[in-house]
Every structure is written in structure tokens, then in C-alpha cells.
Chain A
Amino acid sequence: MAVLLAASPARPRGRLQALPAFIFLAFALIPIVALFAGGTYLVSLGSRVMIFAIAAVALDLLVGYGALISFGHAAFIGIGAYAVGILSVYGITDALVSLPVALAVSAAYAFLTGVVCLRTSGVYFIMITLAFGQMAFFTASSLAPFGGDDGLTIAARNTLAGLPLLRNERAFYYLVFVCLLGTYLFCRALVGSRFGRVVRGAKENPVRMATIGFDVYRFQLLTYVIAGALAGLSGFLLANATEFVSPAYMSWQRSGELIVMVLLGGLGSLDGAIIGAAAYLLTEEWLSGVTEHWKVIFGPVLVLVVLFARGGLIGLARGLARRFARA
């Protein structure tokens, strides 16, 4: 893990960022491609990828830039999703209410747990975030009025200011697209800002940061809250995409999958988190069609990526690009 966490330099700005431009262009074009092939299946798969990419980008903020390995990130997705589900039980089905509630509740959970988690570091941080994640999972499982273990079916997607906009698959897709783009641009600005520089510095040498005069804890806590709220946004979208919420959204396996996405794509670049989410979900989709035991194949592939492609897929791509540039 230490090797993977080693470096996340601030990237130089000024020139056009080819990779993110390509990623977002590709996402923007998917519904158009779907007109000719794939249909709504492709559009809803694309939505799903982008929804998890939002959570993965938020997790990269913690793991890649702050060296805070959160093993309970799925809890925030679940909390965002349950906000939508529980509100709909009470007849509140407009996104203008449910979205702010989803963000506020997940941010509040991040704040309350972060206050405790961030007193620890290293393995203890991993364990305690896992514990809080499981706490959310078991709480959701025991919510009998809201489906308990079985989860909760949502009658219909949220309306947006009274309009049934999200019920159109393409409109919903572009809403998710805007959310991902906004998340990405916000996080990109964040890591380059004064605030982000302190967070990155604390990852490199927390003692030095303290003796320069920074109360590292406060900066990490705010980062944790931001990452939690963004995962809550992802949960809000997920509940609307599936019209269903379940405790499984918060399981530790799901938290583990998010870490895998970020590692697979490449830590500390934000682009990598999006690529990793796409690679993970598309591989899952494809392999699970081939065989029920798809994880038997996926596991070794992941090991190979971690062993031979330091810096994940994005590192691999950069290495290849460099080789081509030289040739």
C-alpha cells in the first residue's frame, strides 16, 4: 500500500488536459451512440458507471490525496440513497428536497464519524472507518418500516421542481453527467487550492505540517466531510437510477469495490478514479455474462494490474504514451 500511496504531485496547468477531455466527451456521446446500438441498456449502464465514478472520485480525494484509506465509503452512498427512499415513503419525491437532504445527512454522518476516525491513522483508520460503515449497514438492515434486509422499492424517480424529468432515461443520464463533471471540476480545483495543498502536504509529512503551523486534523476532517457528501450525491443518483434502496449499498464489500476502482484506475489523479470505476463495472458486466464465477477471473487480473501497472491503468497508459512519444 505504501508504494501505491507514494506520490501525487500537483499537475501542471495551462495546457489542455487531453485525458479528462476525452473521458467526458466519450460519456457525452454515449446516449447518441445508443440511438444506433445498445439502446437504453447502454444508457443505463453509462449512468451506473458515472454514478459510481462520482463516489470513486470522492474516495480518491481521501485515499489518493490525503492518504486516508477509508474502508467505509459505501456507507455514505447508502445514506444518500436511503434519504431518497425514506423521503419517498412519506410522499416527498422532489429532488429539490431529497438532494439537499441526501447531501446534508451524508455530510453529517461524515462529520460525526470523522471526528472519531481522524484521531487515528494507518491501519486503525481503516478499521474504524470499516466499523462505522458496518454500523450504517446494520442500522439500515434493521429498519423494518423501510424494508429492513429486503430493501425498499421506490414508487417512482424523483421529480425535479415538479417535472418528471428524471423519468426520461436520457435526461437522467445527462443529469448524472453534469453531477460527475461538477464533482470532477470541484475536486480538481480543491486539490490545487490552498486547502488542497495542506491536505497533500499532510499526506507527505504530517509532523512537518504541524511544525509549520497547520492543524492537520481540521483540514482532514473537512476533506472527509466533502468526500462523504459527494458519495451521498452518488447515493441520491443511485436510488433514482435503480428505484430501489437496500442495505447492500452500504456493505463493506461495496466499500472494498470502491477502493479497487480507485486502485485499478490509478491513485491521486481523479481521472484514474473515473477510469477505474468504468473498467471495474464494465468488466463486471461483461465477465458476469460469461460466467457466474467471474470474480475468479477478475481477482487475478486485479493482482496483475497492481503488480505490473504501478499507478493503475492511468499509469499504464502514461507509460505507453511516453514509449510512443520516444519511438
Chain B
Amino acid sequence: MPDAVLHLERLRKSFGALVVTDDLTFDVMPRELHAVIGPNGAGKTTLINQISGLVAPDSGTIQFAGRDITALPAHARAELGLARSFQVSSILPGFSALENVALAVQSRAGSSFRVLGRAAAEAALNDPAMAALADVGLAERAHVPAGELAHGEKRALELAIALAMQPKVLLLDEPMAGTGREETARLVELLRRLKGRFAVVLVEHDMTAVFALADRISVLIYGRILASGTPARVRADPRVVAAYLGDEME
């Protein structure tokens, strides 16, 4: 069995008396799409925040590509190849879609301390950014200010930003949240195409999407992993059905 690209070991986090991550151990294999499902308040977003470095765990370790990154700040984790999207779209509203993605390319390229030369005219930044936008179907909207994009387009833009970072692991926090049925179908199709380029941790409530995409599913309840395995096994697990899928599948 190959080594996990992302490995959480006995991670713990509590906000006051509320334990949101409870002694959690969790693996992501290279190129695997690992879905994390669970009811609201199960601690999914807090988990993503701890992996990406926006929230510090109380104890436990996070290993990424063979390195302990528990103490690293968010920007250093991103530099190592850990990209994420946010549940509520987090973009630069005053920048064009292209500039949003070009910044991610620039981050990857380094040398951001250049104070001369017009960044907006650099083909070395714009061409890969344009390619990432084309990947998510936003090429025609490249010059629209990101703040003026439709909701579904913003979700796609977040994906394009993440793609441009050429990540080893992509953390997706409810990428389908608030999108219509057609857009969801398009996003599922897009993720299916991207699958295999890098590992993905997918937090999602849309069970159709999760079961269509996931190689492995972990069910998170009260900060603990209740069950973990292939979609078929998770679906058949009586504990999962009782605790979560029962209501969700009806």
C-alpha cells in the first residue's frame, strides 16, 4: 500500500466545552477522492480549516507529503501544495476572474517581490490562468470582475484558483452548496474529469454527487469518524444509515 499523502493523527479540537474534532485519525491516498459526509455541526468545516491551517488543533499531528505541517501557517501549507475552496465563496471581488487565477499562478511561480513590470500583461501568468479557467468552463468570463459572477460561476472560479495552484491535495468544502441542479451536474462532471490528477478531500451534503465521485467515504459525527470505506460499504453500514444516511437518502 502506498503512503498516504495526507495523514491526520489523533487530531483534537474543542471550542470551549464543545469537542468538534475528537481524537480523529484520517488518511488520504495520492490521487484518491475521499469524501467526508456527516450532519450539520459534525465538524467538517473545522476539520478542513485545521488541515488548511486557518484553525490550530489542540493536539494531534497533520502530516502532508511526508512532512509534519501541524505548526505551519496557512500560506506555507499552500506553498507545499495544499489548496482549498471555501463553503462561502472566497474570491477577490474587485479583481477579474482571470486576475484571481493569475494570482494563484503567480504564487506557484514565486518571485512575487518584483516591483516593476506589469503583472496583468504577463503571458507567463495569464496563459496558465486562462487554461485553468477553460478547464472549469469560465474562459469566456475571464475579464468579468469576480464579484459580478453568478453564484455557480464563483464556485467554478474557486476551483480554477485551486487548479492553478497545481495542488497535491485539494480540499473542497461543499463546492455544490447553493448551486442549482444543472450547475451541480456540471460541477460533478468537472470533478469527475479532474479526479486522478491529485487527491481530493470532498466535504459535501449532496449524496448523489458524493456517491458518484468518491473512492472512499468517511462519515463524521460529533467530531468522530463513525465509519470509513468504499461507497458500497458505507451505504450498507447499519450504523451510518441509522445515524445519518437514513434521513438523507429519503
Contacts and interface: CB of A to CB of B under 8 A. Distances in A.
Contact of B119 (A9, A193, A207, A219): A193
A192 interface: yes
B179 to A, nearest CB: 20
Interface string B9-26: 000000000000000000
Contacts of B59: none
A210 B73 contact: yes
Contacts of A192: 118-120
Contact of A201 (B52, B95, B108, B165): B95
Contacts of B117: 189, 193-194
A216 B92 CA distance: 14
Interface string B88-103: 0011111100010001
B114 A210 contact: no
A190 interface: yes
B161 A212 contact: yes
A79 B52 CA distance: 42
Contacts, number: 110
A312 B92 CA distance: 24
A13 B79 CA distance: 31
B116 interface: yes
A267 to B, nearest CB: 13
A207 B90 contact: yes
A196 B106 CA distance: 12
Nearest to A198: B112
B112 A201 contact: no
B92 A204 contact: yes
B91 A10 contact: no
Interface residues of B, number: 40
Interface in B79-136: 79, 83-84, 86, 90-95, 99, 103-104, 106-108, 111-122, 125
A11 to B, nearest CB: 10
**Lowest 10 CB-CB distances: which A-B pairs, in order?**
A213-B78, A213-B107, A204-B92, A210-B74, A194-B119, A213-B79, A194-B114, A215-B75, A210-B75, A208-B90
B106 to A, nearest CB: 6
Interface of B: 52-54, 73-76, 78-79, 83-84, 86, 90-95, 99, 103-104, 106-108, 111-122, 125, 145, 161, 165
A132 B53 CA distance: 32
A212 B99 contact: no
Contacts of A210: 53-54, 73-75, 78
Q: For the side of the interface on A, what is the size category?
A: 20 to 34
19 contacts: A190-B116, A193-B114, A193-B116, A193-B118, A194-B122, A195-B114, A196-B115, A197-B120, A200-B94, A200-B95, A201-B95, A204-B95, A207-B90, A211-B52, A211-B54, A212-B165, A213-B104, A219-B112, A219-B113
A160 interface: no
Interface string A156-186: 0000000000000000000000000000000
